[in-house]
Structure 1
Amino acid sequence: MAEIKPLRAWRYHSKFTPEIDSLTSPLFDVVSKKQREALYQNPLNSIHLSVPRGEEPAQNAATLLHEWKRDQVLHQDELPAIYVYYQHFQLAGSNKAYVRKGFLCHIKAYDWDEKILLRHENTIPDAVNDRIELLEKTLLNSSATHGLYADPDFRLEQFMDEAMLDPVYETEDYQGARDVLAIIQDARVIEQFISVLKEKQVLLADGHHRYEGSLEYRKKMMAANPHHTGNEAYNYHLMYLTNSESDDLRILPTHRLLEKLPIPKEDFLQKLEQFFVVTPKEDPFELNEVIAGKPWAFGLYLDGQAYKLRLKPEVHGMIDWETTPEVKELDLTVLHFFVFEKVLGIASEAQRNYPGLSYVRNFTECISKVDTHAAEAAFITNEVSMEQVKKVCYSGAIMPQKSTFFYPKVICGFVFSSIKEEEFARETDPGF
């Protein structure tokens, strides 16, 4: 099944460890414009590699990476390692403390039809192209994608807990989570990680665009290399792996904002009633509560008026998209089929890149955007469960884009992984 390898990570030089707080950054697809501009003010922040600026951003990142290596801003660890990464966090409105336990490693960039690494979401093409170009220019994974493996026996947690007794980094990130990194270089222990993953399929939780960037780059290099063996550095990708059986794995809802309705508001509300029970609500800030736990239920905030939408069960069978029963059962499939396609007239494929359609995790932000006329309509959703993610992945189908928000997000800046041949860790390295 899944082949993983330790890596010789590039990390900030030890002299920068006391200021690691100021060097980390959010992932490219969640960093806000305001956060981005603030981070750019620090010339050594990791955002210059993960979300580069300028007319030729990918080339700028490659040039900067060369300078940072030359000037010892970054250095490469001598031995291949597994990098243990814990995130301590709480959820809004709760005092429960969570610890998501995982580790960073290289994993082979498997094609989807190999059924070893399974996806659950569609991607947005422009974002994939951006990631491919950045990888081609830098040959660097500046941030890890997030994968899930199922191990009900929790065989690796004992090794990770032991490594965490001597962490190398500890910081509080932009989400309020406490991020801690530790290193395992013991070859015998690393073999345990490799052995457990050999039995597993991996579900891609987060980072579909970055993973597809690695996948497309691998295909390009394979086509250009008549002596391809499968062991070249370009075959591998940086991934953060966590155990899907843990209770500390949280998925938050991702709401939809529509900048402008393509049909008049009155027509929109009238057409909704063909498929939904539409109930006006007094307070928009209660929308997430009135739909909580109810299947095929959504909040709608439109022009200062809140509504609860509940699909009429008898119309559910109208969903004629070519997908599996597991996907048809999802709330977001119902939303995208009945609201976006049937009512608004936006075809399935067009939804992936529809102008003015955005995806927002913060409920309050959705209400604010409509109140300030930055958007005309907000669609409030329930979260997808881990069980639903598994069912969809194992069915071989995919969810609508931006269906899940695994929380907290991995941060950039702790570990960078190179796919340059001369910098890539191999089994022939000392200890392997």
Structure 2
Amino acid sequence: MAEILPLKAWRYNDDLHLNIAELTSPLFDVVSERQREALYRNSFNSIHLSVPYGEKPASNAALLLQTWKKHGILHQDALPGIYVYYQYFQLPGSDKVYCRKGFICHIKAYDWSENVLLRHENTIPSAVNDRIELLEKTQLNSSPTHGLYTDPEFILEKYMDESIKSPIYETEDYQGVRDVLSVIHDHEVIKLFLQTLQHKQVLLADGHHRYEGSLEYRKKMMQENPDHTGFEAYNYHLMYLTNSEHDDLRILPTHRLVEKIELTDEEFLQKLAPYFVITPKEDPYELNEVILGKQWAFGLYLSGNAYKLRLKPEIHELINWEIPQQVKDLDLTVLHFFVFEKVLGVYQEAQRKMPGLSYERNFTACISKVNSGTTRLALITNEVSMEQVKRVCHSGAVMPQKSTFFYPKVICGYLFSSIKEDEFCSATAACL
């Protein structure tokens, strides 16, 4: 099933004695404007390649990349390897230290129809187009997407545990997460990684826009190359793979913010009433707690007033979208169908490009944005479970956009992966 390959990563040149902690950056879809401005001030920070600025950002990144290669800011590792990546983290209110274990490699950019790599949520078209242009100009994967494979026997973990004892990098990132990177060069161990994945499907956990960018670029190059073999560099994509059977996988909720609606508060609540039991709440900062663990329950913070919403069970069968039952049963499907379509009149496909709809992972930030008047209302959601993600992926359907937030996010800057033909290790035999 899944064809993976080791890679010869491009990394910051150790001889320059740059501080790697000052070179890493958040992924393009989570970095804030304030973070961007601060990181741009460091002329060597990885954000110049992952989220370039200027009127022609992709072209600027491509020129800068060539300059960094020419002057030895970046250099390519001499040997292909599997890069082990561990993230140690804690969650608010808990003293437990989690460790998400995984490894970074190349994976073929499979079309969704091939049923090898499975997605679970929709994308936002404009973000995909930006990623395609950046990939086309730079021919560089500046950060790995996140995929999940299932291995209840934990075949690869002992090799990763051994490798991580000799780290290349160890830093604390913007999330407060301790990131550690090491590399495996042993041929026989690398073969075991390749063999372990070759009979497995991969669920795309995070990075749908970047993966679709690679997929669309591959399709374009296939059309332009009459001698296409399937082994060319453009066929591959950079991915961080973790075992879905680990207990330390965490998915956080992603809340919805709506900047404005063409209804008064009273009209909005009246239109919600046929579908939801609406319970006023005194303290908006308890909205995430009063819905915890309750199916089809949401927090609503509207113009400074807090409410708990709970779908009337008999109403659920009204969902008439042509989607599998596994997707109809999701909280976010309920939210998008009854609130966005039935109440606000924004239909299914149009919701992906809905003006004024934004996404926020931080619960208190949702409350603050409504209080400041920059947002009219916040819809607070529960997290999606790993089992729900699996069920949706295997159903062949997708969740609404921005359904999951796998925590922590991987970081950019530890390594980069080239899909230039003369810098890529394509055929497995050549790599090993």
> What is the aligned partner in structure 2 of residue 302 from structure 1?
302
* Offset of residue 262 of structure 1: 2.8
Kept after mapping to 1: 8 A contact 2:252/2:361: yes
Q: Are residues 431 and 331 of structure 1, via their aligned partners in 2, closer, same or farther at CA, if it must alter by over 3 Å?
A: closer
**Cα-to-partner distance string for 1:120-155 (whole Å, 9 max, x where unaligned):** 000000000000000000000001000000000000
Kept after mapping to 2: 8 A contact 1:79/1:430: no
> What is the aligned partner in structure 2 of residue 61 from structure 1?
61
Across the aligned residues of Structure 1 and Structure 2, the Cα RMSD in angstroms comes to 0.9
Kept after mapping to 1: 8 A contact 2:58/2:134: yes
Looking at structure 2, the residues matched to 17 and 249 of structure 1 have their Cα atoms a distance apart, in angstroms, of: 34
| Aligned residue runs from structure 1 range 324-403, under 5 A | 324-403=324-403
| Aligned residue runs from structure 1 range 57-206, under 5 A | 57-206=57-206
TM-score by length of 1: 0.99
* Offset of residue 261 of structure 1: 1.4
Partner-residue secondary structure (3-state), 2:143: coil
* Offset of residue 265 of structure 1: 1.9
Give, as a single letter, the amino acid of the residue that structure 2 aligns with 1:169. Answer: Y
Kept after mapping to 1: 8 A contact 2:232/2:426: no
Q: Are residues 2 and 428 of structure 1, via their aligned partners in 2, closer, same or farther at CA, if it must alter by over 3 Å?
A: closer
> What is the aligned partner in structure 2 of residue 292 from structure 1?
292
Kept after mapping to 2: 8 A contact 1:25/1:412: yes
Partner-residue secondary structure (3-state), 1:83: strand
Looking at structure 2, the residues matched to 188 and 252 of structure 1 have their Cα atoms a distance apart, in angstroms, of: 37
305-314 or 344-353: which moved more?
344-353
Kept after mapping to 2: 8 A contact 1:17/1:169: no
* Offset of residue 18 of structure 1: 5.4
Looking at structure 2, the residues matched to 226 and 15 of structure 1 have their Cα atoms a distance apart, in angstroms, of: 42
Q: Are residues 201 and 49 of structure 1, via their aligned partners in 2, closer, same or farther at CA, if it must alter by over 3 Å?
A: same
> What is the aligned partner in structure 1 of residue 28 from structure 2?
28
Kept after mapping to 1: 8 A contact 2:58/2:137: yes
Looking at structure 2, the residues matched to 352 and 107 of structure 1 have their Cα atoms a distance apart, in angstroms, of: 28
Number of aligned residue pairs:
432
* Offset of residue 264 of structure 1: 2.3
Kept after mapping to 1: 8 A contact 2:49/2:142: yes
> What is the aligned partner in structure 2 of residue 410 from structure 1?
410
Looking at structure 2, the residues matched to 55 and 266 of structure 1 have their Cα atoms a distance apart, in angstroms, of: 44
Looking at structure 2, the residues matched to 427 and 234 of structure 1 have their Cα atoms a distance apart, in angstroms, of: 13
Looking at structure 2, the residues matched to 56 and 122 of structure 1 have their Cα atoms a distance apart, in angstroms, of: 27
**Cα-to-partner distance string for 1:259-306 (whole Å, 9 max, x where unaligned):** 001322211100101100000000000000000000000000011110
Kept after mapping to 2: 8 A contact 1:21/1:172: yes
Q: Are residues 335 and 17 of structure 1, via their aligned partners in 2, closer, same or farther at CA, if it must alter by over 3 Å?
A: farther
> What is the aligned partner in structure 1 of residue 283 from structure 2?
283
> What is the aligned partner in structure 2 of residue 213 from structure 1?
213
Give, as a single letter, the amino acid of the residue that structure 1 aligns with 2:251. Answer: I
Unaligned 5+ residue runs, structure 1?
Answer: none
**Cα-to-partner distance string for 1:326-383 (whole Å, 9 max, x where unaligned):** 0000000000000010011111111101111000000000000000001000000000
TM-score by length of 2: 0.99
Give, as a single letter, the amino acid of the residue that structure 1 aligns with 2:289. Answer: E
Looking at structure 1, the residues matched to 41 and 431 of structure 2 have their Cα atoms a distance apart, in angstroms, of: 41
Give, as a single letter, the amino acid of the residue that structure 1 aligns with 2:57. Answer: P
Give, as a single letter, the amino acid of the residue that structure 1 aligns with 2:113. Answer: D
Looking at structure 2, the residues matched to 206 and 249 of structure 1 have their Cα atoms a distance apart, in angstroms, of: 12
Corresponding position: 1:423 with 2:423: yes
Kept after mapping to 1: 8 A contact 2:260/2:356: yes
Unaligned 5+ residue runs, structure 2?
Answer: none
> What is the aligned partner in structure 1 of residue 247 from structure 2?
247
> What is the aligned partner in structure 2 of residue 39 from structure 1?
39
Partner-residue secondary structure (3-state), 1:352: helix
* Offset of residue 427 of structure 1: 3.8
Looking at structure 2, the residues matched to 80 and 50 of structure 1 have their Cα atoms a distance apart, in angstroms, of: 23
Corresponding position: 1:226 with 2:226: yes
